[in-house]
Structure 1
Amino acid sequence: MSPSNSQLPPRAKVGSKPQKKLPQKKKKKSPFKTFLKFMLIVIIVAVLAIAGYVGYLYLKADSTVLETGNNNPVAPEASAKVKPVTMLLLGTDYRPKTGTHLTDVMMIAAFNPDTKSATIVSIPRDTLIELNGYTQSKANSYYPKFLSQEKKSGLIATDEMKAMFSKYMDVPIDYATVINFQGFSDVVDALDGVDVNISMDMCYIDNADGTNINLKKGPAKLEGEDALGYVRYRKSSSGCKPRTKESDDFSRNQRQSEVLHSLIDQMQTLGGVTKIGKVLDAVADNMETDLEKDQLKNVIATYWNISKDNVKFMPVTGTWRSPYVYVDNEELSKAKQSLKNEIAGKSVESVDSSTDTTNP
Structure 2
Amino acid sequence: MSQDTPLPSRRDKRTAKAIKPPGKKFRWGRFVFLLLSLIIVVLGTYAGILYFDSWQGNLNKIGKPNNGSVIPKEERAQNKPIALVLLGLDTRPETGSMNTDVMMVASFNPETKTATVVSIPRDSDMDIDGYKKHKANAYYSAFSREGRNEKNLEGDAVAAYARDETRLMLSRFFDIKIDYTAVIDFRGFVDVVDALGGVDVTVDKDMRYVDNADGTNIDLKEGAQELDGEQALGFVRYRQSNRGTAQSSDFERNERQSQVLGAITDRMKSLGTVTKIDGILNAVGDNMRTDIPKAQIENIIKTYFGINRSSIRFIPLEGEWKSPYVYLNQEKLAEAKQALAEELIPDGRPTASPVNSATASTEE
Equivalent residue number for residue 42 of structure 1:
none
Superposition deviation, residue 59 in structure 1:
2.6
Please give the residue correspondences for 1:146-157 in structure 2 after superposition, counting only pairs within 5 Å.
146-152=143-149, 153=151, 154=153, 156-157=161-162
Q: Which sections of structure 1, spanning at least 5 residues, go unmatched?
A: 1-49, 355-360
CA–CA distance in structure 1, aligned partners of residues 204 and 245 of structure 2: 12
CA–CA distance in structure 1, aligned partners of residues 99 and 46 of structure 2: 40
Equivalent of 1:64 in 54, 58, 63: 58
Equivalent residue number for residue 352 of structure 1:
359
Q: Is the 8 A contact 1:317 1:353 kept in 2?
A: no
Partner letter of residue 189 of structure 2? F
Instruction: Determine whether 1:205 maps to 2:210.
Output: yes
TM-score, scaled relative to structure 2:
0.78
Q: Is the 8 A contact 2:109 2:344 kept in 1?
A: yes
Equivalent residue number for residue 120 of structure 1:
117
Q: Is the 8 A contact 2:189 2:229 kept in 1?
A: yes
Cα shift readout 1:195-223 (whole Å, capped 9, x = no counterpart): 11111111111122221111111112110
CA–CA distance in structure 1, aligned partners of residues 92 and 246 of structure 2: 26
Corresponding residue pairs, total: 300
Higher relative contact order by CA 8 Å / sep ≥ 6: 1 or 2?
2
Partner letter of residue 164 of structure 2? D
Q: Is the 8 A contact 2:82 2:108 kept in 1?
A: yes
Equivalent residue number for residue 284 of structure 1:
285
- Say which one has the larger Rg: 1
Please give the residue correspondences for 1:281-360 in structure 2 after superposition, counting only pairs within 5 Å.
281-344=282-345, 345-347=348-350, 348=353, 349-350=356-357, 352=359
Q: Is the 8 A contact 2:47 2:275 kept in 1?
A: no
Superposition deviation, residue 331 in structure 1:
0.7
Instruction: Determine whether 1:85 maps to 2:97.
Output: no
Cα shift readout 1:149-176 (whole Å, capped 9, x = no counterpart): 3223246000000010001111110000
Superposition deviation, residue 95 in structure 1:
6.1
Partner letter of residue 49 of structure 2? V
* 1:52/1:232 CA distance change after superposition, 3 Å: closer
Q: Is the 8 A contact 2:46 2:274 kept in 1?
A: no
RMSD between superposed Cα atoms in Å:
2.0
Moved more, 172-181 or 124-133: 124-133
Moved more, 67-76 or 300-309: 67-76
Q: Is the 8 A contact 2:262 2:309 kept in 1?
A: yes
Please give the residue correspondences for 1:129-278 in structure 2 after superposition, counting only pairs within 5 Å.
129-152=126-149, 153=151, 154=153, 156-237=161-242, 240=243, 243-278=244-279
Moved more, 290-299 or 263-272: 263-272
CA–CA distance in structure 2, aligned partners of residues 324 and 293 of structure 1: 38
